[in-house]
């Protein structure tokens, strides 16, 4: 057991946690914005995959990583807009549309990737993002090299958390988002456009999902493979519930999951574990299902989640 503790307080281990948490934090914040506005986006898994692909492709063809990030974000916004068109504008069922968006986006990602890069025995890779030490801060013992010697996208994720909280709780638009997610009828009476606000929230969520995809293919793996997302979108769905639809708690949930995942990887590598590593990977899902059962009594989910809004139906 002491060996496990030693592992935890290593700089490399802390840095690994931060790196695993980054795409999850982006994805979770993205899903949270969408759900706070009353729209469940099960398209997240596919949106992350397609963004990872377009980001990687743009970076690979242009040689500019930031152009890749831009492509990924635009892809995320576009697919978010598609989901919003179906679920918000047309009022179609959110879960079925979400599955449709995931099937469509993943199919398109595989198709376009194969079309552009052909079938290669070794997948092409790029020179991904390099770590960017922040002066002074990166000299802090342990914490410095773990947190402040990271990729630029990691810093963006860290900044995105307070920013998301600020937008959601301190701006008029954030208030509108919470209103249309809690009580769209009242929001409508108060002059808030339910359709427009929901649409914007889902598109913003898509942009964040795009950043998650960009991180995976341009910082973490530096390549696009068909398993590059491998369920991280579903993890984000779980983390939003686990984090009670709050930016801070959701990000905390992402960090907690990253800790368990990093520990699991370490134990696998060092041969310490007697428990199959899959047991760890199952944990966030089981925890979330249990948490949903426990929490449902105080009903913290946005009240209008999954409910389409049509003005004429009263």
Partner 1 sequence: MFRLEVRTSTPAWFNLALPLLAIGATLVLCSGLIALAGAGVPDAYGVMFTASLGDSYAITETMVRAAPMIFTGLAVAVAFRAKFWNIGAEGQLLAGAVASCFVGAIPMPGPLAMVLMAVAGAAAGAAVALVPATLRVKFKVDDVVSSLLLNSVIYYALMALIEGPWKDSFSGYPISPPIEDSANFPVLIEGTRLHLGVIVALLAAPLIWFLIVRTTLGFRIRVTGENPEAARYGGIHVERVLISTALLSGALAGLAGVGEVGGVHFQVMSDISPGYGYSGIVVAMLARLNPLGVVPAAIFLAAVMTGAEAMSRATGVPAFLSDVIQGTALLAMLVALLFTAYRIRRVGVAR
Nearest Cα to 245, choosing from 202, 301, 307?
301
Tell me: does residue 300 bind partner 1 (CB under 8 A): no
Q: Which is nearer to partner 1, 71 or 79 (CB)?
A: 79
Residues 6+ apart with CB under 8 A from 88: 39, 195, 198, 199, 202, 308, 309
CA distance 272 to 129: 32
Tell me: does residue 306 bind partner 1 (CB under 8 A): yes
CA distance 13 to 228: 21
Q: Which stretch binds partner 1 (CB under 8 A): 86-94, 130-138, 140-148, 178-186?
A: 86-94
Tell me: does residue 289 bind partner 1 (CB under 8 A): yes
Least distance (Å) between residue 226 CB and partner 1: 9
Tell me: does residue 103 bind partner 1 (CB under 8 A): yes
- Joined tokens for residue 18: 């931060």
Q: Which is nearer to partner 1, 136 or 293 (CB)?
A: 293
The correct pick among 12, 133, 162, 276 for binding partner 1 (CB under 8 A) is 276
The correct pick among 66, 67, 74, 93 for binding partner 1 (CB under 8 A) is 93
The correct pick among 30, 55, 100, 210 for binding partner 1 (CB under 8 A) is 100
CA 98 from chain centre, in angstroms, equals 15
Residues 6+ apart with CB under 8 A from 108: 50
Residue length, the chain? 314
Tell me: does residue 260 bind partner 1 (CB under 8 A): no
The correct pick among 101, 147, 158, 229 for binding partner 1 (CB under 8 A) is 101
CA distance 175 to 140: 38
Tell me: does residue 81 bind partner 1 (CB under 8 A): no
Q: Which is nearer to partner 1, 81 or 281 (CB)?
A: 281
Burial bucket for residue 98 (CB in 10 Å: 0-12, 13-18, 19+) = buried
Q: Which is nearer to partner 1, 112 or 156 (CB)?
A: 112
Give the CA radius of gyration of the chain: 20
Tell me: does residue 162 bind partner 1 (CB under 8 A): no
Least distance (Å) between residue 52 CB and partner 1: 15
Helices (H) and strands (E) in the chain, counts: 13, 2
The correct pick among 124, 185, 285, 307 for binding partner 1 (CB under 8 A) is 285
Q: Which is nearer to partner 1, 50 or 161 (CB)?
A: 50
Tell me: does residue 54 bind partner 1 (CB under 8 A): no
The correct pick among 180, 238, 253, 262 for binding partner 1 (CB under 8 A) is 238
Residues 6+ apart with CB under 8 A from 232: 23, 24, 27, 45, 48, 212, 216
Q: Which residue has the tokens 């773990």?
A: 146
Element (H, E) at 219: none
Residues 6+ apart with CB under 8 A from 252: 243
Tell me: does residue 14 bind partner 1 (CB under 8 A): no
Cβ atoms of residues 209 and 30 within 8 Å: yes
Kindly list the residues in this chain that would bind partner 1 in the complex (CB under 8 A): 40, 42, 46, 86, 90, 92-93, 95-97, 99-108, 110-111, 114-115, 231, 234-235, 237-238, 241, 276, 278-279, 281-282, 285-286, 288-289, 292-293, 296-297, 301, 305-306
């Amino acid at each position: 057991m002491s060996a496990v503790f030693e592992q935890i307080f290593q700089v490399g281990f802390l840095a690994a946690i931060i790196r695993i948490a980054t795409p999850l934090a982006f994805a979770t914040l993205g899903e949270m914005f969408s759900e706070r506005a009353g729209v469940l986006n099960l398209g997240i898994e596919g949106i992350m995959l397609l963004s990872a692909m377009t980001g990687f492709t743009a970076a690979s063809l242009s040689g500019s990583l930031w152009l890749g990030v831009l492509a990924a974000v635009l892809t995320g916004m576009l697919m978010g807009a598609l989901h919003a068109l179906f679920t918000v504008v047309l009022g179609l069922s959110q879960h079925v549309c979400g599955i449709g968006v995931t099937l469509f986006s993943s199919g398109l990602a595989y198709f376009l990737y194969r079309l552009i890069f052909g079938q290669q025995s070794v997948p092409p890779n790029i020179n991904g993002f390099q770590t960017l030490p922040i002066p002074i801060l990166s000299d802090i013992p342990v914490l410095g090299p773990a947190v402040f010697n990271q990729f630029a996208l990691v810093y963006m994720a860290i900044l995105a958390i307070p920013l998301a909280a600020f937008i959601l709780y301190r701006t008029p638009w954030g208030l509108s988002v919470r209103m249309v997610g809690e009580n769209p009828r009242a929001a409508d009476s108060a002059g808030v456009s339910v359709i427009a606000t929901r649409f914007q929230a889902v598109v913003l969520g898509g942009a964040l999902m795009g950043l998650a995809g960009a991180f995976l293919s341009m910082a973490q793996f530096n390549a696009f493979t068909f398993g590059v997302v491998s369920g991280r979108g579903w993890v984000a769905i779980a983390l939003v519930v686990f984090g009670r639809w709050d930016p801070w708690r959701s990000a905390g949930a992402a960090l907690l999951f990253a800790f368990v995942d990093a520990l699991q990887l370490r134990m696998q590598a060092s041969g310490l574990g007697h428990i199959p590593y899959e047991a760890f990977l199952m944990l966030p899902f089981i925890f979330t299902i249990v948490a949903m059962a426990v929490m449902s009594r105080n009903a913290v989910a946005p009240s209008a989640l999954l409910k389409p809004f049509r003005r004429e139906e009263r």
